Amino acid sequence: MLQFDAPLERLGARPPPFGTQTGTGALAGGILRRQLQLEPSVDRKTAWYAVRGIVAPALLLGGWRPALAQDSKGLYPSMAPLGQYLMDRATEIAMARSAAPTSISAAAEVWVLGPHGYETAAHGTNGFVCVVERGWMSPFDAPQFWNPKLRGPICFNPPAARTVLPLTFKRTALVLAGLSKGQMIDSIRAFGKNGLPALEPGGMSYMMSSQAYLDDSAGHWIPHLMFYVPLAEAQAWGADLPGSPVMLNPQFQGAPEPIRVFMVPLFRWSDGTVAAQ
């Protein structure tokens, strides 16, 4: 489903000690590369799973084994009872706000997942919208797509809230309607052609929460920002080039959502604490 168009040389490089690097971008890139010290045998999709937190980075150190994917899929072969995906309302509101610094999230609108989909839990004044995404926002073939423990706090800026967040609501509605993955893909593809607002320039989101749970082994992974652009603009970002802190994120990639997503790792959580190196 997902394809990478750029080399992974920079992911395979072992960085020098952090003390020898300067600048925020260098430090963020160092954290990322240290998290993902890949062997040559690791393919692009496997690298992505580690980035998104769908497969623990530790699995990549010894190279990908198909049996590991099968074992993970065996743990979560289908959707769990809905109650396992739901949270206490106040806890979910706080987790959603933790995706971005308080200077942003305190005035943001917050939506929480209920039995019938996402619903407004707090009104905002700055145009940002914060939610906690579930595992079904992962690639459709992700091993932990149905893992009920996954929590992805994320705050969308105003352009992304208007034109990207609807995809979260749409996927969730399809999941709660009981559709198969194939039916969901077809429905989202149709939604992209008729119903999804045109992608606005400047759309981005914050994923800086240390409370996130992106994988059974990787936990919260590292803080990062995500940027949303039309499919045709990928080459303009220099993603996945040697020394570039920008990574191509195959969350959507036109399969089926008509969007490319870029990711830039950070070195601090939303509360200001330093991410583990």
Chain segment 189-226, per-residue pLDDT in tens = 999 889 999 999 999 999 999 999 988 877 788 899 99
Higher pLDDT, 128 or 14: 128
**Count of C-beta atoms within a 10 Å radius of residue 170:** 19
Identify the band that residue 249 occupies on the pLDDT scale cut at 50, 70 and 90: confident
For range 224-251, the mean pLDDT: 85
| Any domain includes 272 | no
3-state DSSP helix/strand/coil percent for the chain, to nearest 5?
35, 15, 50
| Any domain includes 66 | no
- CB of 42 closer than 8 Å to CB of 3: no
pLDDT of residue 219: 79
| Any domain includes 1 | no
Our CA dihedral for 8, 4, 195, 182, rounded to 10 degrees, sits at: -120
| Any domain includes 275 | no
| Any domain includes 114 | yes
Residue 262 has pLDDT above 60, yes or no: yes
DSSP strands (E only) in 189-268 = 204-207, 224-229, 247-249, 260-265
pLDDT of residue 40: 41
Residue 89 has pLDDT above 70, yes or no: yes
pLDDT of residue 209: 98
pLDDT of residue 250: 67
Q: Which residues pair with 262 in a beta bridge?
A: 227, 248
> What share of the chain in percent tops pLDDT 70?
71
For range 262-266, the mean pLDDT: 94
Q: What single-letter amino acid sits at 36?
A: L
Residue 34 has pLDDT above 70, yes or no: no
Tokens of 19: 């003390």
Mean pLDDT of the chain: 78
Give me the DSSP letters along 229-247.
Answer: E-GGGGGGGTTT-TT---E
Identify the band that residue 71 occupies on the pLDDT scale cut at 50, 70 and 90: low
| Any domain includes 85 | yes
pLDDT of residue 73: 58
Q: What is the pLDDT of residues 137-178, one digit of tens each?
A: 988 988 999 999 999 999 999 999 999 999 999 999 999 999
| Any domain includes 154 | yes
Q: Of 144, 152, 153, whose CA–CA distance to 80 is shortest?
A: 144
What's the structural domain count of the chain? 1
Least confident range from 46-50, 95-99, 101-105, 141-145: namely 46-50
Tokens of 31: 């954290």
CA angle 130, 52, 152 (to 5 degrees): 25
Q: Which domain holds residue 93?
A: 9-61+77-265
Q: What is the pTM of this model?
A: 0.76
Q: Alpha helix (H) ranges present in 54-105?
A: 58-61, 66-75, 89-97, 102-105
Residue 56 has pLDDT above 90, yes or no: no
Least confident range from 90-94, 155-159, 260-264: namely 260-264
Query: For residues 89 and 27, what is the distance between their CA atoms, to the nearest angstrom?
Result: 36
| Any domain includes 172 | yes
Computed from CA positions of residues 119, 208, 170, 150, in that sequence, does the dihedral angle turn out positive or negative? negative
pLDDT of residue 72: 58
Residue 94 has pLDDT above 70, yes or no: yes
For range 45-63, the mean pLDDT: 37
pLDDT of residue 217: 79
